[in-house]
Each structure stands twice: as structure tokens, then as C-alpha cells.
């Protein structure tokens, strides 16, 4: 059976990732693959409810981080793991790197606490609740004993990197901003630094796209990246 593929798309608000996700989906469909297009926070009814809260209600930084991970857990259990088990291609508009960038970089929330939550939520195996009634909550990560059980992470993360000032210009002519979109430029500079830190930690899966280019040039870069990445022996 074809192996499932998990690709996430990241970037500060206004970086323009949504248009390109649709194109990547088309690329895979043309290659005969079943594609699941999804997003975070969101992707299940419960996670979409959490999205509403987290994007529009003011709240404590830890509460915000916990809600992001709660939405993610549900999304993994209900949508992402079953899709990967079927051999589908999962294209996810944001995943955990966004939490490190926004809550860690932007809000200044403790990076190590986020890493602990990441281990708790993404530790494999993750069973679909409906098919595993006796499923136990994830055990404490053995990282403290010197190694870490493997975590569910995207196989590839496409990071649309853009100067926050250009992103702000693009957003100004768009819709009514949510809680994050209405943050000042220095917040987005910190989010961008958060993404850069994440990329430095896991350079193998994290590909940077220069998002200041024209939409056509960005699209061409993304198609090239995905096509070449698929040719890698490990992919």
C-alpha cells in the first residue's frame, strides 16, 4: 500500500500560503493520490469550536497553548492518523510549528513547556478513539530517561517566509483581522524568528520558501520543492 504523507504549511499571517496549498493538492490528485486538506487549529467539529475561541477570545498564554494542543490532539486522533493509515496525503494548513512560532516566539511562552506538550500530544502510536475503546492516555515521554519515543511530525513542512512589513501591507487590504492578525509588526517579527528557530532545530523536514516573490514564482518554487522532495529515497 502507498505510504501516507503528511505535509504542513507555515508562515506568518499574510504570507499567502492558502493559495499554494490548493495547488499542491491538485498536484497530488493529478498523480492519483487521495488528498485530505485540513487546517489547524481546526479540522474536526470540536477543534473548529476551539479555533473560534482561541482566535477571538482574550486568554492567558498557557490557556492558549493548551487549547492549541487540545485541538491538535483531537485532529490527530480523528483525522490525521486515520488518513495516514489509509495511505492518503494530508496537507495541513499549520501544525505544531505554528505553536512554537506564535505562542513560543510571538507570545514569548516557554519553549520547553511547548516541547513537553508536543511530546504528550504527538507521541506515537496514536490510535483512533473509535477503534480503540481501551486506548490509554499517552504515557510520560521517555525523553527524561535519555531517549524519546517517536512523535508524529509532518514529513515535510513548507515555510512561507516573508518580511512582516510586507505581510502587514497584504493583510491591510484583506478581511477583518482576528486576534493574531491584529498584532503589531514586532509580534510577527518574533513569530518569524520562532519559525527560523524551529527550522534550525529540524532542517531536514523544514523547507523555506521566499514568499516575497510574485504568486507565480512562489507557486513554481513550491511545486519544484514538493516534486523534488518526493524523489528522495526516504520519501
Helix (H, G, I), strand (E, B) or coil at 92: strand
Using the minimum distance from each CB to ligand TYD, give the nearer residue, 56 or 139.
56
Beta carbon nearer to ligand TYD, 55 or 129 = 55
Cα–Cα distance measured from residue 138 to residue 22, given in angstroms and rounded to the nearest whole number: 34
E strands, the chain, are: 5-11, 35-39, 89-93, 156-161, 206-210
Bridge partners (DSSP) listed for residue 38: 92
- The mark string for 166-195 relative to ligand TYD (x by CB under 6 A, - otherwise) is --------------xx--------------
10 in contact with ligand TYD (CB under 6 A): no
State CA 159 to chain mean position distance: 10
18 part of the interface to ligand TYD, by CB under 6 A: yes
Q: Which of residues 77-96 bind ligand TYD (CB under 6 A)?
A: 93-94
Interface region with ligand TYD, contact rule CB under 6 A, candidates 23-31, 75-83, 97-105, 131-139: 97-105
User: Measured between alpha carbons, how far is residue 127 from residues 73, 130, 143 in Å?
Assistant: 11, 8, 21
Using rule CB under 6 A, residue 99 touches ligand TYD: yes
Q: Which of 28, 102, 159, 187 binds ligand TYD (CB under 6 A)?
A: 102
Q: How many CB atoms lie within 10 A of CB 57?
A: 11
* Interface contacts to ligand TYD, rule CB under 6 A: 13, 18, 40-41, 55, 68, 93-94, 98-99, 102-103, 180-181
Amino acid at each position: 500500500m502507498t505510504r501516507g504523507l503528511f505535509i504542513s504549511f507555515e508562515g506568518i499571517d499574510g504570507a499567502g500560503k492558502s493559495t499554494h496549498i490548493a495547488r499542491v493538492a491538485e498536484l497530488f490528485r493529478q498523480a492519483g493520490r487521495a488528498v485530505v486538506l485540513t487546517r489547524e487549529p481546526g479540522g474536526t467539529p470540536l477543534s473548529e469550536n476551539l479555533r473560534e475561541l482561541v482566535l477571538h477570545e482574550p486568554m492567558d498564554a498557557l490557556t492558549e497553548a493548551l487549547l492549541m494542543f487540545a485541538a491538535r490532539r483531537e485532529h490527530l486522533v480523528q483525522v490525521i492518523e486515520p488518513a495516514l493509515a489509509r495511505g492518503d496525503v494530508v496537507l495541513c494548513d499549520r501544525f505544531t510549528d505554528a505553536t512554537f512560532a506564535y505562542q513560543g516566539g510571538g507570545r514569548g511562552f516557554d519553549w520547553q513547556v511547548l516541547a513537553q506538550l508536543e511530546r504528550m500530544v504527538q507521541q506515537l502510536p496514536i490510535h483512533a478513539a473509535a477503534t480503540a475503546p481501551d486506548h490509554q492516555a499517552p504515557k510520560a515521554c521517555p525523553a527524561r530517561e535519555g531517549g524519546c519515543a517517536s512523535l508524529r511530525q509532518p514529513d515535510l513542512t513548507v515555510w512561507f517566509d516573508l518580511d512582516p512589513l510586507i505581510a502587514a501591507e497584504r493583510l491591510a487590504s484583506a478581511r477583518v483581522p482576528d486576534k493574531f492578525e491584529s498584532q503589531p509588526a514586532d509580534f510577527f517579527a518574533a513569530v518569524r524568528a520562532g519559525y527560523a528557530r524551529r527550522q534550525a532545530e529540524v532542517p531536514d523536514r523544514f523547507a523555506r520558501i521566499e514568499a516575497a516573490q510574485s504568486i507565480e514564482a512562489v507557486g513554481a518554487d513550491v511545486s519544484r520543492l514538493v516534486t523534488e522532495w518526493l524523489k528522495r529515497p526516504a520519501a
